[in-house]
Structure 1
Amino acid sequence: MTEKTVAFSGTTVEAPACTLGEGPTFDPHTGTAWWFDILGKILFEYVLATGAIRQHPLPAMGSVLARVDADRQIVATEDGLYLRRTGTGATELVTPIEDDNTATRSNDGRVHQSGALWFGTMGKNAETGVGTIYHVARGTVTKLYSGISIPNAICFSPDGAIAYFADTAVNKLMRVSVDPATGLPAGDPEVLLDHSGRDGGIDGAVCDTEGVIWNARWGGGCVDAYSPDGEHLLSLKVPAGKSTCPAFVGTDAGRLLVTSARERMSQDQLERDPKAGNTFILDHPVKGRFEPDYLL
């Protein structure tokens, strides 16, 4: 892997540090970024233009949010998909998934261009192989891949014909052809990038307008950029070792917002990594794109 590292340049969002920050996304209709503290059962709302920040309690551990329309959002949680009213914060469980399994929770996910949601579950203590990656379209749930330990890096090529995902415990970025009209796999997954044995783990990812995959590296304190062929292009440093997931933000989707975690860090580790759990906006320009709405 050719290493080209770009030093951190950006801002730290004035928001409380997360134990496990994850699932950032951006709503261009309102100029608002959203992300989760999974373990704290908190949804953060951040208005880019003003810096206003709000914290919303959730009924369960949540990790993925997608816009439905101006008044509603879908939130993937430990017991399924909740419909959330943006005006009141009221939530309603509309698609139960693993609601009878108290040992698992949701993790990474993203909406495909067809309006279907891919998201993964995992053990609450990262137990080996107890997670699953699902496809959910208008409430219909399809199990895609089982035996997953830590589902991550779910994102899609600009034309909607390729899906990417990873099991961080295996540390290989996978790619699979999908039907652009449905988001369902149209072939078998293959390894795009083998990161096993290297520093840090493959975590959350987004794919830009040119097909470049921007992947947060857990334990690496950076966001790595990979070409559609798996070539490492560069690494953008962030001032927290456990970087978890990026999202395109801004009026032109031209910047990256990156979440991080401080889960299971000792006091000594926190003193050496004082911004662990914070959320950052990087100055480095990117050619991002906005997420599609989830279709109920």
Structure 2
Amino acid sequence: MSQTSAPECVHPVAAELGEGPVWRAGEGALWFVDIKGRKIHRFLPDTGEAQSWDAPASPGFIAPLASGQWIAGLKTGLHWFDPAAGVFELLQVVEDPRLDNRLNDGFVDARGRLWFGSMHDPEETLTGALYRFDRDGLARMDDGYCITNGPATSPDGRTLYHTDTLGKVIYAFDVSEDGAVSNKREFARIEEGAGYPDGPAVDAEGCVWTGLFAGWGARRYSPAGELLDFVRFPVANVTKLAFGGPDLTTVYATTAWKGLSDEARVAQPLAGGLFRFNVSTPGLPQNEVRDV
């Protein structure tokens, strides 16, 4: 068991759909988005200081650049985001707006390539896809999803994990040095009644953590797909984890009140808050986008 502390809410921001936590070690800051609230948030754990920015469309993720700026995945496409100026600039349209899709979750691999998924905003049709974005442009890598989450890669970069949330399956792919994916296979399946797999994160031992939407916690799987650990939360919707702190053993987790009834929100007053807990196995450092 890797858990060493119970989750505590460190920032009760009440995000409708908190997602995409990113630890920026140089700032000692945890960044994340509220998709439905159209906000980008920054939280400093040492001081409790918090800042927020309004996004021009639903933000599914933000990915850091070495410059201190970001690439933000919005419903309308990939954008440059400059926190100092608070401005967004369109970088790349990803999909036809008539699909009513939005970008949902993103990840930067060790080579500086950006991976992300799209999903059907009303959560009804299988129009979502997995993409890679790098200096060669935008590449569609897989499709047939309603709600995508992830991806994430193994410590050696040779395995990519990607989630079909409504299908309750985390898939694994082989990844070549040039970013091609192959050998799609089922890595883990969430049983009925245990919630829906949301955003994944990988630790230094190659174990895969996943938040559970409507599952009251997060799970840790071995590289072979064996369930190793469950961390229970006081809120139902745990969306994604990120490893932070000076030694990457502090786990931050975004949560959501989306979909909760009025009664459930009263019973879960911290739903939508930013949580943290400690683990014995550190995570992997956050990569910056550089291959664009």
Q: Same fold (TM over 0.5)?
A: yes
Q: Report the aligned-residue RMSD.
A: 1.8
AA partner of residue 234 (structure 2): P
User: 2:189 — aligned with what?
Assistant: 194
Q: Secondary structure at the match of 1:114?
A: coil
1:294 maps onto 2:275 in alignment: no
User: 1:217 — aligned with what?
Assistant: 212
Report how far residue 9 of structure 1 moved: 1.6
User: 2:54 — aligned with what?
Assistant: 57
| Structure 2 contact 132–140 (Cα < 8 Å) conserved | yes
Alignment of 1:115-130 (within 5 A): 115-130=112-127
Q: Secondary structure at the match of 2:152?
A: strand
User: 2:267 — aligned with what?
Assistant: 272
AA partner of residue 272 (structure 2): G
Match for residue 48 of structure 1 among 40, 45, 48: 45
Report how far residue 102 of structure 1 moved: 6.1
Q: Deviations over 1:72-108 (max 9, x none)?
A: 1111111211111132222111111125336111112
TM-score, with length taken from structure 1: 0.93
**CA distance 1:67–1:95, change in 2 (3 Å):** same
Q: Deviations over 1:188-213 (max 9, x none)?
A: 20011122434111111100111011
Count how many residue pairs are aligned between Structure 1 and Structure 2. Answer: 291
User: 1:183 — aligned with what?
Assistant: 179
User: 2:132 — aligned with what?
Assistant: 135
Alignment of 1:76-155 (within 5 A): 76-98=73-95, 100-101=97-98, 103-138=100-135, 140-155=137-152
58-67 vs 95-104, greater mean Cα deviation: 95-104
Match for residue 244 of structure 1 among 225, 239, 263: 239
Report how far residue 277 of structure 1 moved: 1.1
Report how far residue 7 of structure 1 moved: 9.2
Distance (whole Å) between structure 1 residues aligned to residue 23 and residue 165 of structure 2: 24
Report how far residue 272 of structure 1 moved: 2.3
Report how far residue 130 of structure 1 moved: 1.6
Unaligned runs of 5+ in 2: none
Q: Secondary structure at the match of 2:183?
A: coil
User: 1:281 — aligned with what?
Assistant: 276
Report how far residue 273 of structure 1 moved: 2.1
Distance (whole Å) between structure 2 residues aligned to residue 72 and residue 22 of structure 1: 19
User: 1:253 — aligned with what?
Assistant: 248
AA partner of residue 201 (structure 1): Y
Q: Deviations over 1:154-202 (max 9, x none)?
A: 11000110000111111111101002x33331x2200111224341111
1:203 maps onto 2:198 in alignment: yes
Distance (whole Å) between structure 2 residues aligned to residue 182 and residue 273 of structure 1: 45
TM-score, with length taken from structure 2: 0.94
91-100 vs 28-37, greater mean Cα deviation: 91-100
AA partner of residue 229 (structure 1): A
**CA distance 1:194–1:286, change in 2 (3 Å):** same
Q: Percent identity?
A: 28
Distance (whole Å) between structure 2 residues aligned to residue 272 and residue 183 of structure 1: 45
Q: Deviations over 1:198-231 (max 9, x none)?
A: 4111111100111011111111111100000000
Distance (whole Å) between structure 1 residues aligned to residue 189 and residue 11 of structure 2: 36
Q: Secondary structure at the match of 1:75?
A: strand
1:74 maps onto 2:74 in alignment: no
Q: Secondary structure at the match of 1:13?
A: strand
